[in-house]
């Protein structure tokens, strides 16, 4: 699989008139080679691929990497680019993903390869990994199943007096026990008035009776992530809580119903947003309706009002509308959706009716 992915990227390089590509972003390195370590540089030229790493990862790279030759170097991989003969050709056009390469790193590349013409090749990575094959979809589904099970396990400990940080820690622990390599991103647990913060990281706040609690989290399996959100209430929901929750759920379901290969991503956003706008809460839904997930948590396509992306079979996106009322609280509901030719298939199984705990 790695060799096939590298070959596909090599075709993109040829179309962009590049003779070599230096890949520094470790998420891309893992996607292209299978390497899970924390230090290394991948070089792809017209005929071969090379991976430079230090002695800490020689054995690991040898076991994990397919499709590239492994080279053990001293110090930083970028400083050793000149050890790859193909990069020493005069006026060679070398691409880098400028979005992920610092100015200092670019200066180092130019110093080590003085004869090279270093070119921003960020566009080559723009849709890398957007469309998933069957194996990738299985890993994402497994990651979603881990998140679902972990969530079910922690519901029994939600009670007044427990702290947000405790809930987050237990949720991450349960995902790890179920096989997650790491949290897909920094877990969000926000209760009461803090649930009005879309990215409210867990605090020392104690949960109180009557609070909404928003959980936004995901697992990682085989390098692929899940991303789900559920909002629950501690105790009996008020009429207003139920009204806002039901509104968000209706918007969530409207977005999912719009998902289908060939549909512009902004139409999915528009379907969810229209429900919230009609109810008069449009100004309280300030973020996009979703994003793609895959080998990291924010790949494309973007599901947002100004998105120019079009859904294709094999994309996996989130649908996550929300309503946030400062000083009161908020609700967000999120599923991972596999895009197919006939519609969207949700892979999350956690209950979406309002849970009163």
CA distances from 299 to 5, 43, 72, 109, 254 (A): 16, 22, 31, 27, 23
pLDDT for residue 32:
94
The reply to whether 353 falls in a domain is no
For residues 116 and 140, state if they share a domain.
no
For residues 172 and 78, state if they share a domain.
no
The reply to whether 352 falls in a domain is no
pLDDT tens readout for residues 228-284: 999 999 999 999 999 999 999 999 999 999 999 999 999 999 999 999 999 999 999
The reply to whether 162 falls in a domain is yes
> Global pTM?
0.92
Boundary residue ending a domain (99, 125, 151): 125
For residues 168 and 260, state if they share a domain.
yes
Query: What range does the domain containing 176 cover?
Result: 134-346
Domain CATH number, residue 206: 3.90.230.10
pLDDT for residue 75:
77
For residues 108 and 31, state if they share a domain.
yes
The reply to whether 23 falls in a domain is yes
For residues 95 and 174, state if they share a domain.
no
Boundary residue ending a domain (125, 155, 182): 125
pLDDT for residue 287:
97
For residues 308 and 337, state if they share a domain.
yes
For residues 161 and 310, state if they share a domain.
yes
The reply to whether 357 falls in a domain is no
The reply to whether 41 falls in a domain is yes
For residues 164 and 100, state if they share a domain.
no
The reply to whether 356 falls in a domain is no
pLDDT for residue 97:
87
Q: How many domains does one find in the chain?
A: 2
pLDDT for residue 309:
98
The reply to whether 95 falls in a domain is yes
For residues 198 and 342, state if they share a domain.
yes
For residues 34 and 141, state if they share a domain.
no
For residues 93 and 26, state if they share a domain.
yes
pLDDT for residue 353:
96
For residues 85 and 219, state if they share a domain.
no
With contact defined as beta carbons under 8 Å apart, do 350 and 148 qualify?
A: yes
Boundary residue ending a domain (125, 147, 171): 125
HEC string of the chain equals CHHHHHHHHHHHHHHCCCCEEEECCHHHHHHHHCCCCCCCEEEEECCCEEEEECHHHHHHHHHHCCCCEEEECCCCHHHHHHHCHHHHCCCCEEEECHHHCCHHHHHHHHHHCCCCEEEECHHHHCCCCCCCCHHHHHHHHHHHHHHHHHHHHHHHHCCCCCEHHHHHHHHHHHHHHCCCCCCCCCCEEEEHHHHHCCCCCCCCCECCCCCEEEEEECCEECCEECCEEEEEECCCCCHHHHHHHHHHHHHHHHHHHHCCCCCEHHHHHHHHHHHHHHCCCHHHCCCCCEEECCCCCCEEEEECCCCCCECCCCCEEEECCEEEECCCEEEECEEEEEECCCCEEECCCCCCCCCEC
**Below-70 pLDDT ranges, the chain:** 1
Domain CATH number, residue 91: 3.40.350.10
């Amino acid at each position: 699989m790695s060799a096939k992915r590298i070959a596909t990227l090599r075709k993109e390089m040829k179309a962009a008139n590049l003779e070599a590509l230096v890949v520094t972003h470790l998420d891309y390195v893992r996607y292209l080679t299978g390497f899970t370590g924390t230090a290394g540089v991948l070089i792809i030229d017209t005929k071969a691929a090379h991976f430079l790493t230090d002695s800490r990862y020689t054995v690991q790279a040898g076991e994990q990497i397919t499709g590239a030759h492994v080279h053990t170097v001293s110090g930083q991989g970028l400083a050793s680019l000149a050890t790859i003969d193909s990069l020493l050709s005069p006026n060679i056009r070398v691409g880098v993903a400028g979005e992920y390469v610092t100015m200092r790193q670019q200066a180092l590349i130019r110093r080590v390869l003085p004869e090279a013409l270093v070119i921003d090749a960020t566009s080559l990575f723009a849709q890398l990994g957007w469309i998933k094959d069957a194996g990738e979809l299985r890993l994402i589904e497994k990651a979603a199943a881990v998140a679902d099970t972990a969530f079910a396990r922690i519901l029994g400990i939600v009670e007044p007096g427990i702290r947000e940080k405790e809930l987050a820690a237990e949720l991450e622990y349960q995902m790890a026990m179920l096989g997650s390599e790491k949290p897909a991103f920094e877990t969000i647990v926000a209760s009461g008035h803090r649930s009005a913060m879309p990215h409210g990281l867990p605090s020392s706040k104690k949960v109180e009776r009557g609070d909404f609690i928003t959980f936004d989290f995901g697992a990682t399996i085989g390098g692929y992530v899940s991303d789900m959100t559920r909002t629950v209430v501690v105790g009996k929901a008020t009429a207003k809580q139920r009204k806002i929750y039901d509104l968000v759920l209706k918007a969530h379901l409207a977005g999912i119903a719009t998902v289908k290969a060939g549909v512009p991503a902004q139409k999915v956003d528009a379907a969810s947003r229209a429900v919230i706008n009609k109810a008069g809460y449009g100004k309280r839904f300030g973020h996009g309706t979703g994003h793609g997930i895959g080998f990291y948590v924010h790949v494309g396509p973007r599901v947002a009002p100004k998105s120019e992306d079009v859904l294709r079979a094999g994309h996996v996106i989130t649908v996550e509308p929300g309503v946030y009322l400062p000083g009161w609280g908020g609700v967000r509901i999120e599923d991972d959706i596999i895009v197919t030719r006939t519609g969207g298939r949700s892979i999350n199984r956690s209950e979406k009716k309002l849970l009163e705990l």
